[in-house]
Amino acid sequence: MTLGNWEQEIPLMSNGYHIKLLKDVDRLRREQIIYPAKKDVFSAFELTPFESVKIVLIGQDPYHSPKLAHGLAFSVPNGIKIPPSLRNIFQEITNDIGQTSNSETDLSRWAKQGVLLLNSTLTVTHGKPGSHRNLGWQKLTNQVVLHLSQSHKNLVFMLWGQHAKSKACLIDRHHHLILESTHPSPLSAYKGFMGCKHFSKANDYLGKSSKKLIEW
């Protein structure tokens, strides 16, 4: 596990808080099926170095069905049937920027360009969405959002759904762009997410900030 500067920059990580949480989850794994696999829990931090973050896309918690979660919000390994929320994300990209989205459902390619695909809660029990919301992950991810807002300039924060929008209070709107909409799930996608044009808006903002655009 290589977390680079995250462990130096985020106070809770400097203090080993994330390792304590991982051990707490390990104890639960003795009696429960938990996603993602231990090796993937911190994938978002491993693939997107602290100093490289351009966009923060906040999810809720990992997929709670087998073979889907691998540590990146909304992403699933290639070759897996595309989940409905991700299908809607790809459709909005196509509608927004006029291109057919890459067929890869593994969003590592985004992460490597500086898109931090951060779930608020980093683990979940099989078949029980929200089951780990009280383990302490949100304390960590809230600090990550806050510290990114304080230490970086001209980031884009994508907040989809009420849970993600609750993080807005941690972000300095004077120095960053906050893009808010409904969640891309089928239950709410057509109540604000579809047509939000967040992908072109994010790139417009990055371009005006002299940052390299994301190849969605």
Residue numbers annotated as active site: 61
Q: At how many degrees (to 10) do helices 137-151 and 17-29 cross? A: 150
Q: Count how many Cα atoms sit within 13 Å of the Cα of residue 137 in the half-sphere of its side chain.
A: 23
Neighbours of 26 (CB within 10 A): 11
User: 39 vs 17, 80, 120, CA distance in Å?
Assistant: 17, 19, 18
> Please, which residues have CB within 8 angstroms of residue 7's CB and are 6 or more apart in sequence?
13, 14
Cα–Cα distance, 13 to 4 (Å, whole number): 11
Residue 61 sits at the vertex; the CA angle it makes with 151 and 144, to the nearest 5 degrees, is 10
Q: Is the dihedral of CA 200, 201, 207, 212 positive or negative?
A: negative
